[in-house]
Amino acid sequence: MENIKGKVIAITGASSGIGDAAAKLLAGYGAKLVLGARRADRLEALVAGIAEAGGEAVYAAVDVKRREDLTAFVNLACEHFGRLDVMINNAGIAPISPMDELRVDDWDNMIDVYIKGVLYGIAAALPVFRKQGAGHIINTASTAGISTRPTMAVYSGTKFAVRAISEGLRQEAGPHLRVTLITPGFVQTNLADSMTNATVQAQIIEATEKMAIPPVAIANAIAFAISQPATVDVGEIVVRPTAQA
- pLDDT band at 2; cut points 50, 70, 90: confident
Domain 2-238 has CATH 3.40.50.720: yes
Q: Considering only residues 89 and 206, tell me which one the structure prediction assigns the higher pLDDT.
A: 89
Q: Find the range with the poorest average confidence among 70-74, 83-87, 191-195.
A: 191-195
pLDDT digits 0-9 by tens, 195-239: 888 899 998 898 888 999 999 999 999 999 999 999 999 999 999
Beta strands in 76-219 (DSSP E): 86-89, 135-140, 177-184
Average pLDDT score over residue span 63-78: 98
- The answer to whether residue 155 is catalytic is yes
How much is the mean pLDDT over the chain?
96
Is residue 245 packed enough to be buried (19+ CB in 10 Å), middle (13-18) or exposed (0-12)? exposed
Across the beta sheet with 86-89, what order do the strands follow? Answer: 56-61, 32-37, 8-12, 86-89, 135-140, 177-184, 236-239
Catalytic residue among 29, 59, 114, 155: 155
User: What's the whole-model pTM score?
Assistant: 0.95
What's the rounded mean pLDDT across residues 43-58?
98
Q: Are 236 and 180 in contact (CB under 8 A)?
A: yes
pLDDT of residue 25: 98
For the cut 90, the answer to whether the pLDDT of residue 67 exceeds it is yes
Q: What is the DSSP letter of 30?
A: T
Tell me, what's the pLDDT at 101?
96
d(CA 90, CA 36): 10
Q: What's the pLDDT tens digit per position in 11-33?
A: 999 999 999 999 999 999 999 99
Q: Under a CB-based contact definition with an 8 Å cutoff, are residues 187 and 140 in contact?
A: no
Give me the mean pLDDT over the 148-152 stretch.
94
